[in-house]
Amino acid sequence: MGRVVTFGEIMMRLSTPDHLRFCQANRFDVSYAGAEANVAVSLSNFQVDSCFVTKLPQNDFGRSVLSYIRQYGVDTKYITFGEGRLGIYFIEVGHSQRPSKVIYDRSHSTFARSDISDFNWEEILSGVDWFHFTGITPALGDNLVEICHKALSTAKQKGVTVSCDLNYRAKLWSEEKARLVMTDLMSYVDVLFANEEDAERVFGIKADDSNVVEGRLSLKGYEQVCRKLKERFDFQSVAISLRESKFANINGWSGVLLHGNEFVNARQYTVHIVDRVGAGDSFAAGLIYAFLQDMSPQDSIEFATAASCLKHTIMGDFNHITVQEVKRLVQGEGSGRVVR
């Protein structure tokens, strides 16, 4: 089935219980999450040999993260340790017209202070089929840009397929800096993932007849976005998840894929959301799995969209879903009836 390595930061997630606002909460639910870790766990749940690479603080929180990741069968042997702190993010889960809210406390984390000598990419990427990272990682500092370059160049030398989720975060860097850095890194990327607004914010490529704020998305417009991205960067594939935001907890959810010259779109789901954080990562993981299984483009986008649809129903960033559950949804078993 192949071996997949993902690289990025993992943080402590502190979420308010029962849809409480930050100003109401007197306790938080604790878990650990990060975009690339989310992908590794999803793939491991799909029985893919997955390895997560990061740098953690040499303290109880760092060791807790290690135990947390290992319980899902993810290979952690290339995780390194050092001085510093674990990044944190706080989340207030929205409802109806009130959107969810995230506050980061990740400056000067151990991972953000990583050095290029912390990771032996020759060893890490030996025997690997796929390498995945996101735009969050180079956004954390010029040192991470350098490390990403080293990882990606090594992957290319070894013939490893490289995927990237743009994952633009305005709280981490400007659109101008993101465009400069990510344009350079795209020369190594084979498969690009994005959401409905990433391509516009990072590369200035906007979908016609679409308005993300109003939740009005045009399939034809996003086909144009995919083709422009492929033309500019010569990707093998471009996939975009499409979210139509009706309310904070009710969204339309779908996706499109340009594979070679073939453009396909998935059916749309109406999702009643428990937790939407990590949905894009589950979409990416679903496509990586589908590609490793040599599914057709249509089957690939249907699998990825269904996997990420189910993620919306699960609290926390990780997608605790099996391949069989995804396939049942793809086949139309989405009524929510009790499975006995």
Question: For the chain, what is the mean pLDDT?
Answer: 93
| Beta bridge mates, 3 | 49
pLDDT tens-place string over residues 177-236: 999 999 999 999 999 999 888 999 999 998 876 665 556 578 889 999 999 999 999 999
Q: Do strands 269-272 and 262-265 pair parallel, antiparallel, or not at all (unpaired)?
A: unpaired
- pTM comes to 0.94
Q: Over 90: is that where the pLDDT of 105 sits?
A: yes
| Domain extent listing, the chain | 3-330
What integer pLDDT is reported at residue 209 of this predicted model?
67
What integer pLDDT is reported at residue 213 of this predicted model?
52
Q: Over 90: is that where the pLDDT of 91 sits?
A: yes
Extract the runs of DSSP E, i.e. beta strands, from the chain.
3-7, 11-15, 29-33, 49-53, 55-57, 80-82, 88-92, 101-105, 130-134, 161-165, 191-194, 237-247, 250-259, 262-265, 269-272
pLDDT tens-place string over residues 319-340: 999 999 999 999 987 655 545 4
Domain with residues 3-330, CATH architecture? 3-Layer(aba) Sandwich (3.40)
CA distance 290 to 68: 26
What integer pLDDT is reported at residue 290 of this predicted model?
98
- How confident is the model over 69-98, as a mean pLDDT? 95
pLDDT tens-place string over residues 240-288: 999 988 888 899 999 999 999 999 999 999 999 999 899 999 999 999 9
What integer pLDDT is reported at residue 147 of this predicted model?
98
What letter would DSSP give residue 3?
A: E
Tokens of 92: 């207030």
What integer pLDDT is reported at residue 338 of this predicted model?
40
- How confident is the model over 121-147, as a mean pLDDT? 98
What integer pLDDT is reported at residue 133 of this predicted model?
98
Confidence at 43, pLDDT banded by 50, 70, 90: very high
Q: Over 70: is that where the pLDDT of 116 sits?
A: yes
CA distance 28 to 26: 7
Q: Over 90: is that where the pLDDT of 79 sits?
A: yes
Cβ–Cβ under 8 Å, residues 116 and 147: yes
CA distance 271 to 157: 42
